[in-house]
Amino acid sequence: MINDLIKQWGRDKGINNPDKQTVKLMEEVGELAHEICRGKYDSAELKDAFGDIQVVLIILGDMLGIDTEKCKEEAYNVIKNRTGHNVDGSFVKDNE
């Protein structure tokens, strides 16, 4: 599984500082935002940032003992039955 390979790569490289990994995550999110704000939805840079964000999150989760797959599953279970409406392309949940 790719997540296991990513985790092992991070361990092999000695990536073990959650603070620095969090800063790296913010850098990658900034790169993604830059491409999106420029309307570059199909750029190589956008795709690279998108992948890098996932890699950083997997490594950060590994450092913190967090199962990122389980987190996604739990997040989906929270939203799957959520009701709401779309406003300008963004989902706004109903008050619960």
Spatial distance between the Cα atoms of 18 and 44, rounded to a whole number of angstroms: 27
The amino acid occupying position 44 is: A
Q: What angle do CA 75, 62, 13 make, to 5 degrees?
A: 140
Q: pLDDT per residue over 23-81, tens digit each?
A: 999 999 999 999 999 999 999 999 999 999 999 999 999 999 999 999 999 999 999 99
Second CATH level (architecture) for the domain 2-67: Orthogonal Bundle (1.10)
Q: Hey, where are the domains in the chain?
A: 2-67
Q: Which two tokens stand for residue 94?
A: 């109903």
The continuous run of DSSP H or E covering 56 comes out as: helix 44-64
User: What gap in Å lies between CA 45 and CA 58, rounded to an integer?
Assistant: 20
* Residues forming a β-bridge with 90: 87
